[in-house]
Amino acid sequence: MAEIELRKVVKKYGELTAVNDLTFKEKDGELLVLLGSPGAGKSSTLKMIAGVESVSSGEIIMNGQVINRFDPSERDMAMAFETYALYPHLSVFENIAFPLRSPKRAQKYSEDDVKKMVQEVAEFLEIEMLLERKPKELSGGQRQRVSLARCLIRTPQLYLFDEPIAHLDAKLRHRLRRELKKWQQTRKITTLYTTTDYLEAFSMGDRIVILNRGILLQIGKWEEIYNRPAHLIIGTIISDPHMNTFLGEIVSAEDKISIQVKDIRFDIPSEIQNQIIGSNVKEVIMGIFPSKIQPVDRVENKSLKSNNYVEGLVEFIESRGSRRIIFLKTPHSLTFTLQIPLERPIRIGENIMCLFGKENIQIFDKDTKKNIMRL
Would you say residue 81 has pLDDT above 90? no
Q: Are residues 209 and 306 in the same domain?
A: no
**Please, what is the average pLDDT of the chain?**
91
CA distance linking residue 335 with residue 316, whole number of Å:
11
Spatial contact of 133 and 96, defined as CB atoms under 8 Å apart: no
Q: Which amino acid is at 131?
A: L
State the alpha helices, DSSP H only, in the chain. Answer: 42-50, 92-97, 111-124, 140-152, 170-187, 198-204, 222-227, 234-237, 273-279, 298-301
- Under the banding of pLDDT at 50, 70 and 90, the label for residue 305 is low
Q: Are residues 201 and 281 in the same domain?
A: no
CA distance linking residue 165 with residue 199, whole number of Å:
13
Q: Which amino acid is at 375?
A: L
Residue that terminates a domain, selected from 201, 236, 271: 236
Q: Are residues 101 and 27 in the same domain?
A: yes
Q: Which of 86-100, 124-138, 234-248, 286-300 is predicted with the least confidence, judged by mean pLDDT?
A: 286-300
Burial 333-367 (b: 16+ CB within 10 A, else e): ebebbbbbeeeeeeeeeeebbbbbebebbbbbbee
CA distance linking residue 96 with residue 118, whole number of Å:
7
Q: Are residues 226 and 250 in the same domain?
A: no
Q: Are residues 209 and 324 in the same domain?
A: no
Would you say residue 347 has pLDDT above 80? yes
Spatial contact of 355 and 309, defined as CB atoms under 8 Å apart: yes
Residue that terminates a domain, selected from 236, 251, 278: 236
Q: Are residues 222 and 89 in the same domain?
A: yes
CA distance linking residue 61 with residue 82, whole number of Å:
24
pLDDT (average), residues 142-168: 91
Q: Are residues 204 and 268 in the same domain?
A: no
- Under the banding of pLDDT at 50, 70 and 90, the label for residue 270 is confident
CA distance linking residue 212 with residue 131, whole number of Å:
39
| 358-to-12, 367, 375 alpha-carbon distances in Å | 43, 22, 18
- Under the banding of pLDDT at 50, 70 and 90, the label for residue 302 is very low
Q: Are residues 20 and 119 in the same domain?
A: yes
CA distance linking residue 289 with residue 277, whole number of Å:
24
- Under the banding of pLDDT at 50, 70 and 90, the label for residue 214 is very high
Q: Are residues 171 and 253 in the same domain?
A: no
**DSSP 3-state assignment of 118?**
helix
Domain, as residue range, for 273: 243-374
Q: Which of 14-23, 87-96, 134-143, 340-349 is predicted with the least confidence, judged by mean pLDDT?
A: 340-349
- CATH for 274: 2.40.50.100
Q: Are residues 290 and 188 in the same domain?
A: no
Q: Are residues 28 and 55 in the same domain?
A: yes
- Under the banding of pLDDT at 50, 70 and 90, the label for residue 252 is confident
* Dihedral in degrees, nearest 10, Cα atoms 312, 313, 318, 324: 50
Give ∠ CA 236-259-373 in degrees, rounded to 5.
Answer: 55
Residue that terminates a domain, selected from 236, 257, 285: 236
CA distance linking residue 165 with residue 144, whole number of Å:
7
147 backbone dihedrals φ, ψ, rounded to 5°: -60, -40
Please return the burial class of 186, using the count of CB atoms within 10 Å of its CB with bins 0-12, 13-18 and 19+. Answer: exposed
Q: Are residues 211 and 296 in the same domain?
A: no
Report the domain count for the chain.
Answer: 2
Strands (E), the chain: 4-13, 16-26, 31-35, 57-62, 65-66, 77-80, 158-162, 190-195, 207-212, 215-220, 244-253, 256-261, 264-267, 283-288, 294-296, 309-320, 323-329, 335-341, 351-355, 362-365
Q: Mind listing the pLDDT tens digit for each residue in 91-117? A: 999 999 998 887 777 678 888 999 999
Residue 242: DSSP 8-state: P
pLDDT (average), residues 119-141: 93
- Under the banding of pLDDT at 50, 70 and 90, the label for residue 300 is low
pLDDT (average), residues 289-311: 76
- CATH for 136: 3.40.50.300
